[in-house]
């Protein structure tokens, strides 16, 4: 009986820790604002946490009533999860786009499992979800793993204001 009681106690402690809002690895992708800008300037997709998202994209705590873009060039924010097969399939395409559009746009990734507050605030209920943020104007969402040519068209038209010839 003592062994069962001890096992139950350990299980309860483990489940409390697992549900504490600080999932394992939540700090694993922690990056500074400067490092994020440097990496994206090199044409890399950058993994952000919600604190750096607030510095680089939208400070939803300071400006909760209105959208005020914090960046200097347009961005795409890819909301994903490691267990999501379409998210993983989209990853290489996002890497290619980051390189192709180096210096014109930045591509960030937000792990929805590690950033539940931000994901909830943004209304993420299905992934992958791509947030297209132009330098001026309102952002827009796209759901699903879109093909590269469709993503390029969306980048050109909605982020870079280039009309199709």
- Catalytic entry in 73, 84, 146, 160: 84
For residue 46, give the H/E element and its range. Answer: strand 46-48
- Sign of the alpha-carbon torsion through 141, 146, 160, 32: positive
Cβ atoms of 90 and 78 closer than 8 Å: yes
Indicate if 19 belongs to the active site: no
User: Is the peptide bond prior to 101 cis by the omega test (within 30 degrees of 0)?
Assistant: no
Indicate if 84 belongs to the active site: yes
- Catalytic entry in 87, 90, 105, 124: 87
Q: Which of 123, 112, 40, 119 is nearest to 80 (CA)?
A: 112
Q: Which of 100, 82, 117 is nearest to 155 (CA)?
A: 100
**Structure token pair of residue 120:** 């909830």
Residues annotated catalytic, as ranges: 84, 87
């Amino acid at each position: 009986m003592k062994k069962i009681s001890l096992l139950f106690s350990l299980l309860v402690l483990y489940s409390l820790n697992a549900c504490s809002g600080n999932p394992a690895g939540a700090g694993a992708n922690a990056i500074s604002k400067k490092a994020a800008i440097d990496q994206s300037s090199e044409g890399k997709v950058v993994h952000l946490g919600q604190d750096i998202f607030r510095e680089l994209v939208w400070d939803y705590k300071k400006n909760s009533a209105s959208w005020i873009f914090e960046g200097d060039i347009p961005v795409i924010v890819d909301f994903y999860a490691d267990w999501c097969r379409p998210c993983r399939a989209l990853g290489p395409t996002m890497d290619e786009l980051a390189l192709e559009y180096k210096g014109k746009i930045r591509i960030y990734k937000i792990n929805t499992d590690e950033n539940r507050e931000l994901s909830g605030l943004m209304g993420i209920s299905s992934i992958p979800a791509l947030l297209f943020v132009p330098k001026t104007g309102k952002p827009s969402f796209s759901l699903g793993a879109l093909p590269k040519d469709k993503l390029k068209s969306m980048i050109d038209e909605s982020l870079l204001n280039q009309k199709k010839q």
